[in-house]
Amino acid sequence: MTGNHKNINPNFRRTPAPQYTHAEIVEGVKNRDAKILGHIISKAESTIDKDQDLVYEVLDQIAIEQRSSIIAVSGSPGVGKSTFINSFGNHLVQQGKSIAVLPVDPTSQVSKGSILGDKTRMDDLVKLKGAFIKPMSSSLSLGGVAPATLLASMICEKAGFDYILIETVGVGQSEFEARFMCDCFMLLLQPGGGDDLQGIKRGIMEMADLLVVNKADGGLLDKARNSLQSYKAALKLLLPNSMGWRAKAYLYSSIEHQGQLELFEALSDYFEYLNQHNRWSVLRRDQSIYLFEKYTNDIMHQTLLQNQGLKKDYNDLIDALQEGSISINKALTRFKEKLQDELS
Ligand SMILES: Nc1nc2c(ncn2[C@@H]2O[C@H](COP(=O)(O)OP(=O)(O)O)[C@@H](O)[C@H]2O)c(=O)[nH]1
Ligand SMILES: [Mg+2]
C-alpha cells in the first residue's frame, strides 16, 4: 500500500480521541451516555496499563443500583444471533426496557468490515433510544487481567441497563466462558431434519437455560416445528441444572418477529425463578469463583513466565520435545521440579 499516498485526502485530520475527566466518565456511565460508555469500554479493550487502571477505578466508584439481567446469546455462526438480537432487542425496548448489546466478533481483529456487518444486522436497534451497542473484539484479555467483555458487561450493569445481551463468538471454549459471565444462557438453534441433535454438542445444550429454534418462518417453519419437538424431547432427558432449573425450548423468527411475546414471558419467568430463594446471588457468587479461578490461572502462568530462568527452562523443554529428546512425562516432571526450586 505504500507509494499510494496521493490517494489519501490531504485535508484529512484524524479526530482527536475525546478527553474526559474522571468525574465526567463516572457521571456519563451513570447517565448511560453512549459516547462515554463507548469510550470507557474501549479502555477496557486497551492493552495500556493506564487505561485498564481507569476502568477499574471507574468500576470502583459506581455502586450497582439494580442488577442487570445479563443474557448470553450463543449458537453456531450463521444461526442468526445478530439478527435475533436486533429483533428481540427491539421488543425489549418496546417493553420499556433499556438494553446494552455487546456483540463479540471473532473476526473483528482481521477485518473491520465484519464489525460493520454485525452492526448492520442490528440496523433497527442502532436507531433506538434505550439501546446501546458496542461491538467487542474477541481477543481475550490482551492487556488486562480480566477479558474486556466481562469488564464491559460490568460497566453496563453499573450504568443500570435492564438487560445486557452478549452475542458470543459461537464456537469452542469461548461459549463456556460466556456461560460464567451471564445470568441466562440462551442457545439459538438452526431448524434441521431429524439429525438436529447430532449437530450440536450435548455439553453446550446442558449449559442452556433457554433454547430458541430460530428461523421459524417461510420454508423453514415445518422443519423448525419438528426440531422444537426433538429438542423438547431431548431436554426431558436432561437433569435440572445446579439452580434446579429445567431448560425450555421456543420457536422464533427474527425476520417475521414471531415468538417475541412467548420468549419475553419465558425470560421473565426465568428471572423470577432466579430472584427467588436468593438463587441469583448464589449464581453470581459461584460464577465469580469460577472466573477468579480461571483468570488467576492465567495470571499465575503469565507472572511465572516473566521469571527469566523459568522461561528459559520452559522454552528449553519445548525445544527438547521438538527434537524428540525428551518424553512428555519427563518434560512435565522436570518443569515441576524447576518450578518448585524457583518458589522455595
Ligand atoms: N429465514 C430467516 N433467516 C434468518 C433469521 N435470522 C437470521 N437469518 C439469516 O441468517 C443469516 C445469519 O444471520 P446472523 O444474524 O448474521 O447470524 P450470526 O452469525 O449467528 O450472528 C443471515 O443471512 C440472516 O439473514 C430468521 O429468523 N429467519
Ligand atoms: Mg453475528
pLDDT at 108: 45
Written as nine digits, the cell of 290 is 469460577
Helical ranges in the chain per DSSP H = 22-30, 34-44, 49-61, 81-94, 112-121, 123-127, 148-158, 173-179, 196-199, 202-207, 221-236, 260-275, 279-304, 308-323, 328-343
Report pLDDT digits (tens) over 107-150: 544 444 444 445 557 878 888 888 999 988 765 544 456 788 99
Report pLDDT digits (tens) over 303-316: 888 889 999 999 99
Closest protein CA for atom 4 of ligand 1:
215
CA distances from 193 to 18, 175, 205, 212, 215 (A): 52, 24, 18, 16, 14
How much distance in Å is there from the Cα of 254 to the middle of ligand 1?
Answer: 8
Q: Tell me how crowded residue 145 is: count the other CB atoms within 10 A of its CB.
A: 13
How much distance in Å is there from the Cα of 158 to the middle of ligand 2?
Answer: 25
- What pTM does this model have? 0.87
Are the CB atoms for 212 and 189 separated by under 8 Å? yes
Average of pLDDT values for 233-256?
Answer: 93
Average of pLDDT values for 156-170?
Answer: 94
> Is residue 298 scored above 50 in pLDDT?
yes
**Domain 64-277 belongs to what architecture?**
3-Layer(aba) Sandwich (3.40)
**Pocket probe mutation, ligand 1, options 81, 83, 213, max atoms within 8 Å of Cβ:** 83
| Residues at CB less than 6 angstroms from ligand 1 | 75, 77-83, 121, 214-215, 217-218, 220, 253-255
Comma-separated ranges of CATH 3.40.50.300 domains in the chain: 64-277
Average of pLDDT values for 254-261?
Answer: 95
DSSP three-state, residue 95: coil
Best-predicted range by mean pLDDT (45-54, 253-262, 287-296): 253-262
Q: Comparing 27-41, 126-140, 154-168, 267-281, which segment has the lowest mean pLDDT?
A: 126-140
CA distances from 121 to 12, 236, 245, 338 (A): 29, 34, 32, 52
DSSP three-state, residue 344: coil
Are the CB atoms for 102 and 72 separated by under 8 Å? no
Using alpha carbons, select from 297, 71, 292, 286 the residue that is nearest to residue 178: 71
Are the CB atoms for 186 and 209 separated by under 8 Å? yes
Q: How far apart are CA 129 and CA 135, in angstroms?
A: 17
